[in-house]
A and B are shown apart, each in its own frame.
Chain A
Amino acid sequence: MADFEPKIVAFCCNWCSYAGADGAGVARLQMPTNFRIIRTMCSARIDPEFVLRAFSKGADGVIILGCHPADCHYIGGNYRARRRIALLRMVLEQYGFDPKRLRLEWVSASEGEKFQKTMVEFIDTIKALGPTPMKEE
């Protein structure tokens, strides 16, 4: 598994986590290249279908990054994202996915370091889990 390079989709909200990811860049915080960021205005825009689509296409992991609780630019969008993702993790588990492949995390606009740490950790987690079960079929 040493040469396994996972493919990860990262959904970031425009106001906090996407800005935090930019902040990581501005601070030149280095990290592995395994993820691609898709920007939405709010984490509440992440339709569960997006996550399922990513997995069905072969994503080894999906991470959703939103504003910290109570900091959502749209008041309470991140709370809704949290509920949806919690449910979705249960659904994924029923389909034989390790729920650890789907993660929700809070990163603020000033948390470049947290973005880096979160991504490094998540990539390590997915590397430990190995390729998506979709590949085995």
Chain B
Amino acid sequence: MTKSALVIGGGIAGIQASLDLADRDIHVYLVEKDPTIGGKMSRLDKTFPTNDCSACILSPKMADCIGHPNITTLTYHEVLKVDGEAGNYKVTVKKKARYVNPSECTGCGDCIVKCPSKGIPDQFEFGLVTRKAIYIPHAQAVPRVAIIDADNCRMIQSGKCGVCQKQCGKGAIHYDDKDEEIVLEVGSIVSAVGFQVWDAKIATEYGYGRYQNVVTALEYERMMCASGPDHGHIKVPSTGEAPKKIAFIQCCGSRSEKKGWKKYCSSVCCMYATKQAMITKEHGDVQEDIFFMDIRSYGKEFEAYIHRAENEYKINMHRSSRVAGVEEDPKTKQLIVSYTDAENNRCDDAYDLVVLSIGLNPPDGAKEFADVLGIELNEYGFCKTSVYHPLETTRKGIFVTGAFASPKDIPTSVAEACGASAKAGAYIVDKDFVPCEPKVYPAEKDISGQEPRVGVWVCHCGINIGSTVDVPGVTEYAKGLPGVVYAQETMYACAQDCLEQISTAIKEQNLNRVVVASCTPRTHEPLFRTACREGGLNPYLFNMANIRDQCSWIHMHDQEAATEKAKDLLRMAVAKSALLEPLQGTFIPVTGSAAVIGGGITGMTTALDIAAQGYPVHLVEREGHLGGNALRFRHKEDGVAVQDFIKDLISKVESCSLITVHKSSTVKDIPGFVGNFKLILTDGNEYPVGAVILAVGASEYKPTEYGYGKDAKVTTILEVENALDGGKFNAKDVAFIQCIGSRSDTVNYCSRVCCSGALRNAIAMKMKDPTTNVTVIHKDIRTYGFREELYNKACSLGVRFLRYCVDNALPEYDGKTVKAHDSILGTDVEVPVDCVVLSAGITPDREEKEEIAKMLKVPISKDGFYFEAHQKLRPVDFATEGVFVAGAAHWPKFMDECIAQASGAASRALTIISKENLISEGIVATVNENYCDGCGVCKGCCEYSAIDIVTLDDGAKRSVVNAGLCKGCGCCVAACPSGAMEQKGFTNAQVMAEIDAFFGGQ
């Protein structure tokens, strides 16, 4: 019997893991202990570094998840017991009494209005507001159904009330609901239970809980958020007025030996605090100060983000400032923050609001949960994993993803979630595997001959659109547009409730066109098209007006003109929609194999994960051997030498019958499209593949600084590691100089791995000979996460740290001493040296990447790495379907991160190559035979050989389009001299209608 997979935890990591499994036709149980999925991400206002609205990018995923035919979402359920073994687990799950039947509840809220209880702290809003005993967790909750809090319900406690039951027209409320136990049979388990935030009350010196105007960062997210308690108007709690001065205190609960604090770095706080400061500036004029020890902006485009915060948003960055304490002025309730400034002066400054950047803890009850699963935790209480197996727990068949393994950001969690699903899928897909049946949608209604009946939804997008564009005004305006019979404004068009509203309105209002004015069709069109299908409407009868990305966000300071523009864009979209026709896609057969370009750790891991599920892989490596950059590492991780791990990995790859390794090979071209690429190597051989994964890595920067290559004393981290390993290291006075080839005027990014690499070797030097003088000259030490251990150990072994100011020129070196300006002491310091180790950064090999990028039509970021489809939620996908990226080709990263991402890319590729057919877009070219005289102009300009000229019986010639090959560019349509060619979905008449509508304003 085919087993299901179990995903525990319905945050973004659990959602992604479920979706990836389900997209491979595997049935998934998603168990979430809270009444709604969405996790911590659903509480965030915006996300760094794109400042995307969190709800906007998460809601589509939540909607996908709840609506996915292969996912059984069990909210308000808890795992009690796991019996059995990998491939054959029996999991006992408690269905907690909700007292409201989710399949009967419509989320109308009538019960809530009448419930007589009050004053119960609302956990979703962190107690900033109150709720009733019967409540819907929040506006974007999925599923959006009510729940009764039994402890506060009069009826359940004393039998005296029952108001809500009387109110409920659906009879959904059942006071006698009981906890129940169910048993799920699953092949494998993904644990994605996330994290808990650190309890800020432990930091008594900061006064959280005592002083009204000290809040935690997560509370502040809610204060900023349009769907939060104050609708996005940030207020000082004691006065209700807008704050004029805000202090952000970093490392609250992190990087400290203090009792109750955590030694590790929480990895995300520097970035989220900077984001909060930036977004606050968009709310109003306010002075903001961030107090931190090191700023840890090590991720993709994070460094540029910090620069923007400092230079464009004028946020004051107080480096090396651990805040000693916060005192409240009892009269004004202002907060006095005591800190040491860059000149080493003790300062006391008053602020209206203090935001504590609290760290990430293991989830509540992690120990009990680990016992239930039979897995081990690490010394910090997070799930135990290893560098070489970052997604595996200590029990076979149980995998981990997201912050449960270590504090991490959203894209890393998402990439890992994909990876964990690849691993979990391997226990389910075997020779007897029976895939889930495809979803059946309601029959499409016939709209032929009907006048347009357009339904319009105008989205506030929290305050993203609503604060600039007059959404009610635009909605009112929509009602007067030709063909519009229904117009509605909505807080979040992409939220589950609105999607359901669209499906329902199609039926109830007999709509035959739907237009949503919100964000960009590039990310959200598929979601709304699905909503149309749910309502029985062909998905191509949907159109979007982009009034956020291309209107409210770029015209924030001209509300009137932005509103006019939004009306124009909507009018244009409605005009086009009236001419839309129902379209059908065609089936495209898929080649069930993949090409992996790059044979380093990343590429090999991807290849093995794909092969593990029975699909052939072509692994292309330009060198004569596999292994990549990691062949140069000489250290151990988790007690195992990197070289031993690589040897093992190489032998697994080379002995795998499904993997064909092409050594000393490069790619000549990869023409084709999703499901049907042709990998052409320079030796002329060709291989059909369904998906392509780019794992081409990056290189160590070759320093031009400090006479490297000429002066024998000057070396790099990898070289010094080699010398230490070979017993050839004898220097007594060592200086590491950080950020060589990183964070400079020409290279704007942080290379992420060099701080840890330097400290790893600094420690090795001290361990070898404690009398060696080791100085690390740095800008910030970025040993994020548990890597902070390296920093602590280096300090305890007597490694000296010297911070040179970020804006200063590099330290000087004259062959004998290194001279640097110590920005903490405020003086120049001379360090005598007989060895200078340059922490050379990672360089993207841009030219090489561009070559492949051009073949596959994928973009490159401004820093020279591959540019993924979405920085937050599609970290290993390209916008071009069927092409994926992993490892250092995407961004510099550590081995464990590369391995996790490699599995992630494998999973994404599997969602394609595991299918026999894909359904193509319906947007293809078509010929009107009445106008075509077979001239062949269209054939000449088609890049895909999708057009043939055929001779009819009467000798006349006609153009014929092969819809399976047509990519829908529309080039032939513009070229056709007789107007016979049309592009479905972008017909001449449709585009003309858009143009006319712009100028035909009302």
Contacts and interface: CB of A to CB of B under 8 A. Distances in A.
22 contacts: A18-B520, A21-B549, A24-B549, A24-B554, A25-B551, A25-B553, A26-B553, A30-B554, A33-B555, A36-B565, A36-B569, A38-B572, A38-B994, A41-B968, A44-B970, A44-B971, A45-B969, A45-B986, A47-B988, A53-B995, A57-B999, A74-B967
Nearest to B994: A38
B993 to A, nearest CB: 10
A76 interface: yes
B731 interface: no
A57 B550 CA distance: 23
Contacts of B967: 74
- Please provide the 3 A-B residue pairs with the shortest distance between their CB atoms, ordered closest to farther: A45-B970, A25-B549, A44-B971
Contact of A41 (B551, B554, B970, B988): B970
Interface string A113-137: 0001000000000000000000000
Interface string B943-957: 110000000000000
Nearest to B992: A53
Nearest to A35: B565
Given A36-B998, A57-B996, A80-B971, A41 B553 contact: no
A61 to B, nearest CB: 13
Contact of A30 (B520, B556, B986): B556
Interface in A29-80: 29-33, 36-42, 44-50, 53-54, 57-59, 70-77, 80
Interface string A1-31: 0000001010000111011011011111111
Interface of A: 7, 9, 14-16, 18-19, 21-22, 24-33, 36-42, 44-50, 53-54, 57-59, 70-77, 80, 84, 108-110, 116
B971 A42 contact: yes
Interface stretch (B167-175, B613-621, B803-811, B854-862): B854-862
B923 interface: yes
B572 A36 contact: yes
Chain A CB within 10 Å — which of B50, B554, B923 has the most? B554
A26 B975 CA distance: 35
B998 A7 contact: yes
Interface string B529-564: 000000000000000001011110111111001101
A28 B971 contact: no
Contacts of A76: 943
Interface string B971-1002: 10111000000010010100110111011100
B327 interface: no
A41 B986 contact: yes
Contacts of A25: 520, 548-551, 553-554
B637 to A, nearest CB: 34
B860 A110 contact: yes
Given A25-B548, A47-B973, A18 B522 contact: yes
Given A33-B564, A45-B983, A28 B995 contact: no
Contact of B521 (A39, A50, A53): A39
Given A25-B550, A28-B282, A39-B521, A71 B854 contact: yes
A71 to B, nearest CB: 7
Contact of A73 (B857, B973, B995): B857
B995 A38 contact: yes
B991 to A, nearest CB: 6
Contacts, number: 156
B939 to A, nearest CB: 14
B970 A110 contact: no
A73 B880 contact: yes
Contacts of A24: 549-550, 553-554
Chain A CB within 10 Å — which of B51, B548, B860, B974 has the most? B974
Interface string B548-590: 1111011111100110110011001000000000000000000
A26 B995 contact: no
A33 B923 contact: no
B941 interface: yes
A116 to B, nearest CB: 8
A22 B558 contact: no
B867 interface: yes
Contacts of A71: 853-854, 857, 859
B546 A37 contact: yes
B879 interface: yes
Interface string B515-529: 000001110000000
Contact of A48 (B546, B860, B974): B974
Contacts of B733: none
Given A71-B857, A74-B943, A77-B969, A15 B986 contact: no
B789 interface: no
A46 to B, nearest CB: 6
A22 B522 contact: yes
Given A42-B970, A80-B971, 5 more contacts: A15-B879, A37-B550, A37-B569, A74-B967, A109-B879
Nearest to B52: A26
A33 B565 contact: yes
Contacts of B565: 33, 36
Contact of B991 (A50, A72, A110): A50
B943 A75 contact: yes
A109 B551 CA distance: 17
A74 B971 contact: yes
Interface in B257-273: none
Contacts of A45: 969-971, 973-974, 983, 986
Contacts of B996: 53, 57
Chain A CB within 10 Å — which of B50, B549, B562, B992 has the most? B549
Given A41-B969, A53-B992, A26 B859 contact: no
Contacts of B923: 41
A74 B969 contact: yes
Contact of A72 (B282, B857, B944, B998): B857
B473 to A, nearest CB: 16
A110 B867 contact: yes
Given A33-B561, A44-B971, A76-B943, A28 B553 contact: yes
B969 A50 contact: no
A33 B562 contact: yes
Chain A CB within 10 Å — which of B550, B558, B853, B879 has the most? B550
Contacts of B999: 7, 54, 57-59
A16 to B, nearest CB: 8
Interface in B805-819: none
A28 B970 contact: no
A33 B549 contact: no
Given A38-B994, A71-B857, A73-B857, A29 B554 contact: yes
Nearest to A84: B974
Given A40-B970, A77-B971, A70 B572 contact: no
Nearest to B854: A70
B969 A28 contact: no
A73 B673 CA distance: 11
